[in-house]
A and B are shown apart, each in its own frame.
Chain A
Amino acid sequence: MILSEIRLHSPQSLAEAFKLLEELKEARIAAGGTDLFVDMKQGLIEARDIISLQKIEDLRGIGKEDKGIRIGAMVTAQEIISSSLINQHIPALADAARSMASCQIRSMATIGGNISSAVPSADLPPSLIAADATVELRCSESFREVTLTKLFAGPRETICQTGELLTFIFVPFPPPNTGISYQKFALREANALAVASVASRLTLKDGKIDRVAVVLGAVAPTPIEALKTSEFLSGKEPSQSLFEEASLMAKKEAKPISDIRGSIWYRKELISILTRRALTEALLQAQRKSRTKE
């Protein structure tokens, strides 16, 4: 596909963007373009019109609100990495962003794009889901807020309708004594998709696990919550043997496929290792938080 044959539209506002989406039903939306343009060059996607969101200021910025952090859809991975707000309140998201691709790509790739492309191995969704994040889907007439788990419908499929844009992500402040960890396994140190990944959030109360989430990435058509595993962990006293048992349960909840990057067997092995490591790291973080309070 020769890119010079395409018409690029650069709306300056959300209103303009919605108008274009109305007119050009077949148009594709470009955020950072790091996924879209690759697919177009390979001929996997054909489009005559591209609507770029680069000029829309409303989609940018990371802001602190009463109950949490609001991240504009067009915020880049690099901005997430260097944001003091995010490093302070949800460092796992910065870790996830740091594990993506390469520094060149991170300077262009956006959180909105990473979520919307709905690639099963995407790096940002698992820790966002673990953090109970929601997204706003807005169209010219209305908007709706959707939890991230509900957003994903299948590989490269979200519930976003034509005419709708993902405008921002809201991450509530984690409750006190909470740790969140993102563990990714890839075949080399950069520019590598996750073969398997796990995000875990753990809240301690009176020395016991109060609330816990275990989210598995790259081992199902979408990122999935290992609900049986988190149910098992809830209310119990944390220990290495508990985490061992939990990691074996998570392994069973994973539904990976075999491909050039890993077999089903190996991906399941990785899930159990990464679950244990994510829980361990989340626990350490949670314990550190309780200590600083004292």
Chain B
Amino acid sequence: MSDAQKKEKSFQSGHKIIGKPLARHDAWDKVFGKTVYADDYFLPGMLYGKVLRSEYAAANILSIDTSEAEKLPGVKAVMTAKDVPNNETITRFGQTHSVGGFEGLYRILAYKKVRFRGEAVALVAAETEVIAQKALKLIKVDYKPLLGVFNPIEAKKPGAYKVGESESNVICSYKVRKDDVEKGFALSDVIVENTYRVPAQDHAYIEPESGVAWIDDDGVITIRVSTQVIEHFREVAEVLGLPHNRVRVIGTMIGGGFGGKEDITVESYLALLTWKTKRPVKLTYTREESILAHGKRHPYFMKYRTGATNDGKLMALEAELISDAGGYVYLSPWVLLYSTVGATGPYDIPYVKVDSYTVLTNNTFSSAMRGFGVPQVCFAYESQMDELALRLNLSPLEVRKKNYLKKGKAMATGRVLDRYVAFPETAEKALAALGEQSKPKSPAEKIGRGIASGMTSYGRMVFLHDTSRSYVGLDMDGSVTVRCGVQDLGGGQSSSLAQIAAEVLGVPMKDIKVYIADTALTPLAGTTTATRQLYMSGNATLKAAKEIKKNLLNKAADILEVKPESLDLQDKKVVVKEAPDQTIPLTDVIATCASDGIPLYNVAQFNAPFRELIDFKTGQGQVFPDFTFGTHAAEISVDVETGKVKVLKLVACLDVGKAINPLSVEGQLEGGTIQGLGYALMEDVVLKKGVTLTPSLSEYLIPTSLDVVDIDKVMLESGDGLGPFGAKGVGEPSVTSIAPAVVNAVCDALGIRIFDLPLTPEKIVKALKKS
């Protein structure tokens, strides 16, 4: 190859920074413990806030006496519902385009009635944490315990105890109807019918909820908080009766969110206490308080009836889904919608009937958690597929291959999949990656293998008219500043933006500075939820950076007297593509642009496709922008005497579209796999009459590093995603199908099926004894 050819090749060779496994720009700080999190902030004159929480899951509040607490030296504020300017709000959904229906009552502090154990009843701010703790004990609340209801099936029945004020416990329900499902069953040779149950799961982030608030020199209530949604500044302003721009939320680096910091956690309490005392206030939950007080993954009861022909073709699916919303509405209607749309899984089924309900109970409220209703139904439909495989004498892979959706085919909701669908590819690759089956090491051990496929949306529901904004600016010396409201969960959300800007502008990563998550100073990028940030703020940043590049290349084209299309940016130079040694230093072009008044900054807005609400009576229409498809495979060994499951091999195979930073994507795949493994084998927020029996991480078990094996990560890059450079989202898709893969493996080993999670050793032994 000649030198010129080599140069041209290096020029056209793909991306310089995108697709490279890079340590995130914040990685080393995290390793060395230098990263500052919400609880690390201290301000002069700061007070400590604490929350008094309800002892009872269901009770009337007859009276609250705060006089003793107020008298305690060092106590600066004690607040109850009557002290909150606007204590009640209606849960709205969507940060810009509000969607009507399914509004639920939501209170900052309990008023006259408590609806779950741990509900906030009063707030205290004091000079020290010890004093605040003592003050809590001095608040006298007179409760009248009520009956309560603790099971959504019970709560759904007419005449059940009313959790709310007077409205029905059934918050909402959806239907999907595709033709007449009975026709489908009539055409089926085999029908499999089962009821599946999944428990509440806790996010168990390493960083509990935390924040510090103060009033700045202009009287703006400023809240520095670990949150996935800085846009809550609007709700907080409304609680205080202030204009929106008089509340500022600054998001900190988050030590794990997973959806648990998607709703307002400490923001309102902080705002109230600082507003009342006029002093800075800090509030950090203990782990036990976090487990007690924040929303959980929705428990579901799922009745599935699946029909197929003898050669494995699915004919009919009938599902009834009931979720436990807990004491307040929060995001239950939306989680239910995700489950309803996802209830059929990635399969082409001609006759479908789905009915779903979400129901209030006096359990801890349920809300967003990684997967948002999809992991639950995936457990059900992937268990059904394996049951069908058994009945039909087909392998799990074979029965799935006969039914996978393809590009161009429609889901049961009528939505046509218009982009590449990585099935059966991910299933074949995942199974192959398991390699040769391991041999049992003792007579009590049985080995089993399982796969499970999932399809998980990325990007928000399209009727929310999602948008995101990002600012990119080039400084005189060629260094770059990105300002974006994106909240960084630890998933590399801010680092990705640096990579995108670096790629487009030809500037090294170390010269890019990203400022994030400040409602006053960074363009709002929307929530870090719904696996949307790479797609949305990534695209906004891409758009902004491209605009600057256009201006630079146009000016350079003038200078060099060539066409702009023949130029590119590389290593802080403008380069002629055909003759790479013809360059101008970037700083020269910048200087010329500056003096000619050409803008070298851009604030871009990226809009996701806007659609309207689907018809909830038939469930027909488009709900999501796109999906990520993947399959997990697992090999396990079970000790048939003790029921203990040991994980031998785990494979996560997903089509990620384009891995902007492969290291980050691998991190998501690993984390998602482990979180799903916990869901399958050991995680269970156990509530008895609304009281938690797993109050700390000693009882609520999550996998330790010794419970996991190296996870084989097989990333496919179809390039067919809607995100920058063809990327898809992976944050939630990485957790969807791992639990059913593990369960399928256990059931393969044991020859029996277990229908509810988690598969504890005791449950396994009991099931074996029964069979």
Partner of B762, one of A42, A190, A262: A262
Segment of A71-79, A86-94, A162-170, A263-271 in the binding face: A263-271
**Distance to closest chain A CB from B684 (angstroms):** 9
Given A260-B699, A262-B762, A269-B765, answer yes or no on A2-B686 (Cβ-Cβ < 8 Å): no
> Taking chain A's interface residues, is the majority helix, strand, or loop, or is none over half, making it mixed?
loop
Interface: A102 (CB within 8 A): yes
Bound-state CA distance A191–B703 (Å) is: 10
Contact yes or no, B641 A273, CB < 8 A: yes
Contact with B along A268-285 (1 / 0, CB 8 A): 011001000000000000
Instruction: Give chain B residues whose Cβ lies under 8 Å from the Cβ of A273.
Output: 641-642
Contact yes or no, B644 A266, CB < 8 A: no
Contact with B along A3-33 (1 / 0, CB 8 A): 0010000000000000000000000000000
Q: Of residues 176 to 222 in A, which have CB atoms within 8 Å of B's CB atoms? A: 185, 187-193
Interface: B320 (CB within 8 A): no
- Which residue from chain B places its CB closest to the CB of A274 in the assembled complex? B642
Bound-state CA distance A185–B644 (Å) is: 9
Contact yes or no, B704 A187, CB < 8 A: no
- Which residue from chain B places its CB closest to the CB of A38 in the assembled complex? B698
Bound-state CA distance A269–B707 (Å) is: 23
Contact yes or no, A2 B699, CB < 8 A: no
Instruction: Give chain B residues whose Cβ lies under 8 Å from the Cβ of A185.
Output: 642, 644, 761
- Which residue from chain B places its CB closest to the CB of A187 in the assembled complex? B701
Number of interface residues of B (CB under 8 A): 24
Instruction: Give chain A residues whose Cβ lies under 8 Å from the Cβ of B686.
Output: 260
**Distance to closest chain B CB from A122 (angstroms):** 15
Contact yes or no, A2 B130, CB < 8 A: yes
Q: Of residues 226 to 262 in A, which have CB atoms within 8 Å of B's CB atoms? A: 260-262
- Which residue from chain A places its CB closest to the CB of B128 in the assembled complex? A2
Bound-state CA distance A192–B707 (Å) is: 11
**Distance to closest chain B CB from A257 (angstroms):** 14
Given A2-B129, A262-B762, answer yes or no on A188-B642 (Cβ-Cβ < 8 Å): no
Interface: B46 (CB within 8 A): no
- Which residue from chain B places its CB closest to the CB of A102 in the assembled complex? B704
Bound-state CA distance A260–B682 (Å) is: 12
Bound-state CA distance A266–B693 (Å) is: 18
- Which residue from chain B places its CB closest to the CB of A5 in the assembled complex? B130
Contact yes or no, A188 B765, CB < 8 A: no
**Distance to closest chain A CB from B770 (angstroms):** 13
Contact yes or no, B765 A266, CB < 8 A: yes
Contact yes or no, A260 B130, CB < 8 A: no
Bound-state CA distance A193–B766 (Å) is: 21
**Distance to closest chain B CB from A268 (angstroms):** 11
**Distance to closest chain A CB from B756 (angstroms):** 16
Contact yes or no, A189 B701, CB < 8 A: no
Given A260-B693, A262-B762, A270-B642, answer yes or no on A188-B130 (Cβ-Cβ < 8 Å): no
Bound-state CA distance A256–B706 (Å) is: 28
Given A262-B762, A266-B765, A269-B765, answer yes or no on A188-B699 (Cβ-Cβ < 8 Å): no
Instruction: Give chain B residues whose Cβ lies under 8 Å from the Cβ of A266.
Output: 761-762, 765-766
Instruction: Give chain A residues whose Cβ lies under 8 Å from the Cβ of B644.
Output: 185
- Which residue from chain B places its CB closest to the CB of A272 in the assembled complex? B641
Partner of A189, one of B128, B288, B706: B706
Bound-state CA distance A262–B765 (Å) is: 12
**Distance to closest chain A CB from B143 (angstroms):** 22
Interface: B694 (CB within 8 A): yes
Given A188-B707, A189-B706, A190-B706, answer yes or no on A263-B762 (Cβ-Cβ < 8 Å): yes
Instruction: Give chain A residues whose Cβ lies under 8 Å from the Cβ of B699.
Output: 260-261
Bound-state CA distance A262–B760 (Å) is: 10
- Which residue from chain A places its CB closest to the CB of B684 in the assembled complex? A260
Instruction: Give chain A residues whose Cβ lies under 8 Å from the Cβ of B704.
Output: 102, 188-191
Given A266-B762, A269-B765, answer yes or no on A188-B129 (Cβ-Cβ < 8 Å): no
- Which residue from chain A places its CB closest to the CB of B643 in the assembled complex? A266
Instruction: Give chain A residues whose Cβ lies under 8 Å from the Cβ of B130.
Output: 2, 5
Contact yes or no, A187 B760, CB < 8 A: yes
Contact yes or no, B762 A188, CB < 8 A: no
Instruction: Give chain A residues whose Cβ lies under 8 Å from the Cβ of B698.
Output: 193
Contact yes or no, B707 A189, CB < 8 A: yes
Bound-state CA distance A168–B506 (Å) is: 68
Bound-state CA distance A61–B9 (Å) is: 68
Instruction: Give chain B residues whose Cβ lies under 8 Å from the Cβ of A42.
Output: 288
Instruction: Give chain A residues whose Cβ lies under 8 Å from the Cβ of B765.
Output: 266, 269
Contact yes or no, A260 B642, CB < 8 A: no
Q: Of residues 667 to 717 in B, which have CB atoms within 8 Å of A's CB atoms? A: 682, 686, 693-694, 698-699, 701, 703-707
Instruction: Give chain B residues whose Cβ lies under 8 Å from the Cβ of A188.
Output: 682, 701, 703-704, 706-707
- Which residue from chain A places its CB closest to the CB of B706 in the assembled complex? A189
Bound-state CA distance A193–B697 (Å) is: 12
Partner of A187, one of B288, B693, B705, B761: B761
Bound-state CA distance A191–B696 (Å) is: 13
**Distance to closest chain A CB from B685 (angstroms):** 11
A interface vs B, CB < 8 Å?
Answer: 2, 5, 42, 102, 185, 187-193, 260-263, 266, 269-270, 273
17 contacts across the A-B interface (CB closer than 8 A): A185-B644, A187-B682, A187-B701, A187-B761, A188-B682, A188-B703, A188-B704, A188-B706, A189-B704, A189-B707, A190-B705, A191-B704, A261-B699, A262-B762, A266-B766, A273-B641, A273-B642
A2-B129, A260-B694 known; 6 new pairs, CB 8 Å cut-off, are A102-B704, A187-B682, A187-B760, A188-B707, A190-B707, A266-B766
| For the complex of A and B, 7 pairs with smallest distance between CB atoms | A189-B706, A190-B704, A266-B762, A190-B706, A273-B641, A189-B707, A2-B130
